[in-house]
A and B are shown apart, each in its own frame.
Chain A
Amino acid sequence: MAAQEPGMKKKRISKKNKSAWRKTDIQDVEQFLEDQRQEERIGTFTDKQNEDLFVVDASPLKTVPSQLSVKKKRKLNALKPMRSHQALENTSKVQDPIVKRNHVRQKKNGRNIELEVRNPTKARHRQANSDRGLYYEKLDQRLTARESGKKDNKVDKDIWQEVDFRDKIPGLKDEKGWISRDLAVHIAGNIGRKVVKTHASLHHKTTKAKKFEAPHPGMSYNPSLKAHQELLAQVVDREEGIIKKEQHLKRVTTSMFSKVTPEERDRRRLNEMSEGIKEEGEPASASEDEEGAEQKPADNSYSTVNAPVENKKKSKQSRNKELKQKELQRLHEAKKALKKQTADLIRIKSIRAEVKEEAEELNEVKKRRKAKAERKKFEPKRLGRHKFVEPDVDVNMPEDLAGNLRNVKPESNLLTDRFKLLQKRNILPTTVAVTRKRSKVKRFPRNSHKEAGVSFQDLRAQRKAAAAASKANNDTIKI
């Protein structure tokens, strides 16, 4: 039954006539007989010696080292099923009793991108494919550009040429003057090429200060005396102002308080902190304590510092009186006002003068306010938390003026200068650089580390060198 597979059933054949009998498979019987005959001819395995059957292999076992690199091996290993999954494999020799099983195929999550790329069925697949194509085309371009080392010049057109947005959109190119500009703007927005208008306030100046301030003539590397003196005077003025302010602050703060020695301070602090704490050694306080202790149990009732609030009711009579008084007061005041009015009739001239004076004062205030507003237009605006502080005036001190280009001593830092100018023109808010504080690290040498000391030999060499130098010096002086 070698040919017959184990699972297969024998086919039943009818054996009605002789020709049917010929179809009978007798191969297994013949095979068996053939085997028997052969055994009789050459004998069985049991008759033979071990030496006849086996040969001892004397040559060393050749193991061919694998040509694969570690990386490739890893890749091959990755293809194999995971070892952790080996436990799940069916190793049983017992056949599955159910011959035909319905496979429950799990549906794959998401899209099969590979399939979509291979045979796109929907419009979006095609779109995605074309997009992907564009992406890789661009990538190739960039990679080749980078390899060739050529930089594309970003500036290759005149951007200030007059261009109408309508010319770029084919349908909107208006040759006959039928499409108004507003309509064109509207349509462009709907097409997806929105025309963005900049609002005018973006170009408004926020300060009237000049963009370019001419340098003071005293800042020349070789200034005329007068110009330099002027500049110096300016600097001195500024500095004096600063000093004055500082002095004022000092006067108002530091020097307002009396000074005490550190010991006195400590003593005062101790006193203040220990206020109200009774000390054990003091006899007086002890007696007080005793008195208090005596009093407390005697006076059992509750008492506070403030007197208790009483709800006093006013009588009707007193209320009436109050009302009457009020009425009287009002009448009196009205009378007084009338009297004043009549008196004012005589005073009309002086009142006029007063009014005039007041008006003048108001006018003055108005003028001052206007002037201030005008001044403010030139000053930097307050944009952030910090106020803009005018940078120092750059000036060369008279001793630094060399008078020639070779020995110029440059002042000022141009970058700071520009930065401040941007702040002054309200482009940047004034900020203060915040630096992160580094955590303090206490450093100390290891116990095992020893400082390299100075050896005796070194000291001797130094001494010798010093002596030689002094000697040489003496010589030169003599000559």
Chain B
Amino acid sequence: MRRPKKYEAGEATQYISRRAALRKLQLSLNDFRRLCILKGVYPREPKHRRRAQKGSSDIKILYHAKDIRFLLHEPIVWTLRDYKIFAKKSGRDRAIKDFRNLKRRLAMFPEIKLDHIVKERYPTFIDALKDLDDCLTLLFLFSTFPSLHLIPREQSNLCRRLTIEFLHYVIASKSLRKVFISIKGYYFQAEIKGQKVTWIVPHYYPFKPQSRQEVDFKVMSIFVEFYTIMLGFTNFRLYHGLNLAYPPQFPSNMLQDNADTLKDESSFVSDRITALNFELLRTDKVQEDEEEPDIDMELLEQDGDSKRIIKMKQEAQEVSRLRTLFKGLKFFINREVPREPLVIIIRSFGGKVSWDSSVFSGATYDESDETITHQIVDRPSLSTQYISRDYIQPQWIFDCVNQRQLLPTNKYFLGEPLPPHLSPFVDAKRDTYIPPEEKALHDPSLIETHAQSEDESEDDAAAEEEDTVEQELLDAQLQRAYQQETAEYKKYGGADGVNEDEEDSDEEDFDGEEQESDDDDEEELDEKEKRLLEEKQKMSVQSGKVHKVNKRQVHKAEVDEHRLQARMVKPRHRNLFRKLIREKQAKEKEEWLLRKKRRTIETDAKEAKKLAKREARKAAAAAAAAAAQLGAK
């Protein structure tokens, strides 16, 4: 038998160094890089580097040999080789000044085709959506670039067109869910076909020079080349899913490079935003207002009201409310406010938006329009103000979207110090323990009561301490009851379909209206009184019965249910089930511990306060007594 040689089997044959790959594919390093990025073939780290590198221990860039063999089949390898030939031939023509031939050659420039690669890398549409995060962020960034050394102007133009198309889809499908202003840029999260797609839009659209030391522009440009094709196909499918015509037809002067946009950055940016503020052409005649049929949540009834189902229902309800958050509202954006994110947000939740037509193009109505409900301002004061509208700071829009309701505008008024802008990516309703301070941040209704109660306690006279405590307790109980009520209301939604939040925000108005209605109804008062009197006579008070809950029975039922559940679990999933239960228990225990800790700390603090007060009182009394004695003396 032949003695087996070293490195003829095993890990050494599974990996191939980059150099060897180049030789095998007969490509230059640049072409190879391009091919790998386009095909999604990335270097690998071997388990045993020395074995994989046939004995040498320096760190080389390695690829799976299988991957490289796969690349051998790729038709674009031939196109890449054609590029080389093209460069040689056209270079020769240029050198001997054979311009007729050169023109012919340039016209026949070998074009690379990536359709099949997109399909190959993302076998299903959902796969493509899952990988859209990077794609969108990069394209948004590149759409701001001027033509640079390694980035042709066509590429950044294409990026601009594609991103605007995508934004139009987001607006048309109302799929925006979360927004966040960070110091990096604006985060947007949309939910498309159940996939969460997140992207970042940089703060200032005008281009900022990038250092070449940190980033390899050529590599990024290749990524963008692939992503443009991918986003193009994704847009195509998304548009057709909504019965929109693709490619969308923009007015002819829009999104075209002309002398004006090339010269002036602000007009370049305003062109983008103008393109966003207009309705798309539909291929069918369906009204846009018609709601697409949502998943019927009632179908999930069979599991009763398990925690998850309730949560899902609540979520669905919130989303359906969110989609029409700004419906019927008219916004006007002042000059100094960054318009792009605001236009996207307002339009995707059904609002109408315009801006100063004298400064930027594409305004749909003027500032003097009386039907405007909100004007977005980001400066401390404004000389001329209309009574009919709210003057708010831009953060209101973002916070409304994240809270999924129209927040009261009073905290966001012109020149008001803003409440903190919280990240929507931290789940406020997560299952773990949330300290009351954080809860208060998310629910502004809690914050006021909290502050008030503290104030009261401070103001209270020392003698009436006990009473106030009782009062507070009562208040707290009442509040809790109220909160429970609202929570239930939220859970099952308003029966009459009135937006609850609107009620909140317009509470004062409501009171006024009620009074007015009372005045109107004075004529019918007599009849009503009679009826009321009759009813009163029939009324009687009965002693209430305490509904007793048999705790043991409830507990038994719970245990039984749990057992049944455990029995239903398939044997192969038993470990998983146990793990889940264990995790749940651990989480509950942790939450309980934290709450207990908090409680003890708070009670200790209260006690200490009480003690201090009592001692102070005693000391004061003693001092008074001493003073009296002195006086007597």
**Hey, which bits of chain A sit against chain B, CB under 8 A?**
135, 138-139, 142-143, 146, 153-160, 194, 196, 198-199, 201-202, 206, 211-212, 214-217, 219-227, 381-385, 394-396, 403-406, 408-419, 421-422, 426-429, 431, 433, 435
Alpha-carbon distance A292/B441, docked complex (angstroms): 96
Across the interface, name the chain A residue whose C-beta is closest to B41: A202
Q: Is A405 in contact with B134, judged by CB distance below 8 angstroms?
A: no
Q: Are B108 and A383 in contact (CB under 8 A)?
A: no
Question: Is residue B598 contacting chain A, with contact meaning CB distance below 8 A?
Answer: no
Our pick among B41, B120, B426 for the contact of A214 (Cβ within 8 Å) is B426
Whether B78 sits at the interface, judged by CB under 8 Å, is no
- A-side contacts of B120, CB under 8 Å: 198
B133–A211 CB distance below 8 A = yes
In the complex, the answer to whether A419 meets B214 with C-beta atoms within 8 Å is: yes
Q: Which 10 A-B pairs have the closest CB atoms?
A: A214-B425, A224-B420, A155-B232, A217-B423, A381-B45, A410-B203, A222-B421, A219-B182, A160-B125, A383-B43
Question: How far is B122's CA from A159's CA once the two chains are assembled, in angstroms?
Answer: 10
- B61 A212 Cβ-Cβ under 8 A: no
Q: CA A158 – CA B378 in complex, angstroms? A: 44
For A217, give its contact among B43, B73, B118, B426 (CB under 8 Å): B426
**In the bound complex, how far is the Cα of B59 from the Cα of A382, in angstroms?**
9
Chain B residues within 8 Å of A202, by CB: 40-41, 67, 70
- Selected contact of B395 from candidates A138, A160, A196, A222, CB within 8 Å: A222
A224: which B residues are within 8 A, CB to CB? 420, 422, 441
Residues of B within 8 A of A (CB): 40-45, 58-62, 64, 66-67, 70, 73, 104, 107-108, 115, 118-120, 122, 124-125, 128, 130-131, 133-134, 137-138, 141, 180-185, 187, 196, 198, 200, 202-204, 208, 210, 212-216, 219-220, 223, 229, 232-233, 235-237, 240, 246-247, 336-338, 378-379, 393-395, 417-418, 420-423, 425-426, 437-438, 441
Cα–Cα, bound, A225→B425 (Å) = 17
Of A206, A414, A428, the residue contacting B137 (CB under 8 A) is A414
CB pair A383 B426 closer than 8 Å: no
Q: In the assembly, what is the distance between CA of A139 and CA of B441, in Å?
A: 66
Given A142-B108, A143-B107, A222-B421, check contact A215 B232 (CB 8 Å). no
Q: How many A-B residue pairs have CB under 8 A?
A: 202
Distance from B215 Cβ to chain A, minimum over Cβ atoms (Å): 5
Give which listed residue, A221, A405, A415, contacts B215 with CB less than 8 A.
A415
Given contacts A160-B125, A410-B203, A418-B138, contact A403 B417 (CB under 8 A): yes
Q: Give the docked Cα–Cα distance between A410 and B205 (Å).
A: 12
Q: How far is the CA of A198 from the CA of B240 in the complex (A)?
A: 28
Q: Is the Cβ of A215 less than 8 Å from the Cβ of B182?
A: yes
Do B229 and A154 touch across chains, with their CB atoms under 8 A apart? yes
Q: For residue A414, which residues in chain B have a CB less than 8 angstroms away from its CB?
A: 137, 141, 184-185, 200, 202
Which residues of A have CB within 8 Å of B40? Answer: 202
| Sample (25) of A-B pairs whose CB atoms are under 8 Å apart | A139-B107, A155-B232, A158-B233, A159-B233, A160-B237, A198-B120, A201-B64, A211-B133, A224-B422, A225-B420, A381-B44, A383-B42, A383-B61, A403-B418, A404-B418, A406-B337, A408-B181, A408-B183, A414-B137, A414-B141, A415-B215, A417-B184, A418-B138, A428-B219, A433-B212
Q: Which residues of B are found within 8 Å of A226, using beta-carbon distances?
A: 437-438
Known: A160-B237, A404-B418, A418-B220. A220 touches B214 (CB 8 A): no
Contact of B215 with A416 in the complex, beta carbons under 8 Å: yes
Closest chain B CB from A435 CB (angstroms): 7
B204–A416 CB distance below 8 A: no
In the complex, A355 Cα to B210 Cα: how many Å?
A: 62
Partner of A227, one of B133, B137, B378, B423: B423
Taking the closest CB of chain B, its distance from the CB of A430, in whole angstroms, is 10
| Contact present for B42 and A409 (CB under 8 Å) | no
Contacts of B441 in A (CB 8 A): 224
Q: How far is the CA of A173 from the CA of B386 in the complex (A)?
A: 72
Can you name the residue of chain A whose Cβ is closest to the Cβ of B214?
A: A416
Question: A215 near B425 (CB under 8 angstroms)?
Answer: yes
| New contact pairs (13) apart from A160-B124, A215-B423, A225-B420, CB-CB < 8 Å | A142-B107, A158-B240, A160-B122, A202-B70, A206-B45, A211-B133, A211-B134, A222-B395, A381-B44, A404-B418, A410-B203, A414-B200, A415-B210
Given A154-B229, A160-B124, A418-B141, A405 and B247 touching (CB < 8 A)? no
Contact partner of B42 (CB less than 8 A), chosen from A214, A396, A403, A427, is A427
CB distance from A212 to the nearest CB of B (A): 5
Are A406 and B70 in contact (CB-based, < 8 A)?
no
Q: With A142-B107, A433-B214 as known contacts, state yes or no: A220 contacts B200, CB within 8 Å.
A: no
CB distance A431 to B215 under 8 Å? Answer: no
Contact residues in B for A395 (Cβ distance below 8 Å): 183
Residue of A nearest to B201 (CB): A414
**A405 touching B338 by the CB < 8 A rule?**
yes
Assuming the contacts A154-B229, A406-B378, A431-B216, asked whether A220 and B420 have C-beta atoms less than 8 A apart, the reply is yes
Q: Contact partner of B182 among A220, A385, A413, CB < 8 A?
A: A220
> Which chain B residue shows the least CB distance to A222?
B421
Q: Are A153 and B183 in contact (CB under 8 A)?
A: no
Contact A419 B41 (CB under 8 A): no
| Residues of chain A contacted by B115 (CB below 8 angstroms) | 154, 157, 159
Q: Which residue of A lies closest to B183 (CB)?
A: A411
A381 to B44, CA, bound (A): 8
User: Which of A217, A227, A433 has the most B CB atoms < 10 Å from its CB?
Assistant: A217
Q: Tell me which residues across on chain A come within 8 A of B128, comparing CB atoms.
A: 160
Residue of B nearest to A376 (CB): B45
CB-based contact B237/A158 at 8 Å: yes
A223 pairs with B119, CB closer than 8 A: no
| B213: chain A residues within 8 A (beta carbon) | 433, 435
A381–B47 CA distance with the chains assembled, in angstroms: 11
Pairwise interchain contact A215-B108, C-beta atoms closer than 8 A = no
Q: How far is the CA of A399 from the CA of B250 in the complex (A)?
A: 44
CA distance A395 to B183 in the complex (A): 8
- Docked pose: A431 CA to B420 CA in angstroms: 40
* Minimal beta-carbon separation of A42 from chain B (angstroms): 66
| Contact B61 A429, beta carbon cutoff 8 Å | yes
Q: Which of B133, B180, B420 has the most CB of A within 10 A?
A: B420
Beyond A384-B43, A429-B61, whether A221 also contacts B181 by CB under 8 A is yes
Q: Report the separation of the CA atoms of residues A199 and B120 in the bound assembly, to the nearest whole angstrom.
A: 11
> Which residues of chain B come closer than 8 Å to A225, judged between CB atoms?
420
Contact A415 B141, CB 8 Å, known A160-B237, A198-B120: yes
Residues of B within 8 Å of A222, CB to CB, are 181, 395, 418, 420-421
Select which of B210, B236, B247 is within 8 A of A158 by beta carbon: B236
Q: Are A221 and B59 in contact (CB under 8 A)?
A: no
Residues in A with CB closer than 8 Å to B133 are 211-212
Q: How far is the CA of A411 from the CA of B181 in the complex (A)?
A: 12
Q: Give Cα A383–Cα B107 distance, bound, in whole angstroms.
A: 40
A211 to B240, CA, bound (A): 28
Contacts of A426 in B (CB 8 A): 42-43, 45
CB contact between A159 and one of B42, B64, B118 (< 8 Å): that residue:
B118
CA distance A135 to B108 in the complex (A): 9
Output the residue of B61, B137, B183, B393 with the most chain A CB within 10 A: B183
Q: If the complex has contacts A154-B232, A202-B40, A214-B426, are A223 and B393 also in contact, measured as CB distance less than 8 A?
A: no
Bound state CA distance, A418 and B180, in angstroms? 18
Q: How far is the CB of B346 from chain A (nearest CB, A)?
A: 15
User: Which residue on A lies nearest to B178, using beta carbons?
Assistant: A214
A203–B213 alpha-carbon span in the complex (Å): 31
Q: How far is the CA of A435 from the CA of B213 in the complex (A)?
A: 8
Indicate the member of A159, A194, A406, A429 with the most B CB atoms within 10 Å.
A159
Are B422 and A220 interface neighbours, CB within 8 A?
Answer: yes
The answer to whether A138 touches B184, judged by C-beta atoms less than 8 angstroms apart, is no
Chain B residues near A405 (CB, 8 Å)? 181, 337-338, 378, 393-395
Report chain A residues within 8 Å CB of B138: 418
Contacts of B338 on A, CB cut-off 8 Å? 405
Report the Cα distance A446→B283, complex, angstroms.
74
For A417, give the chain B residue with the smallest CB separation. B184
Separation of A198 and B39 alpha carbons in the complex (Å): 11
Partner of B70, one of A135, A198, A403, A429: A198
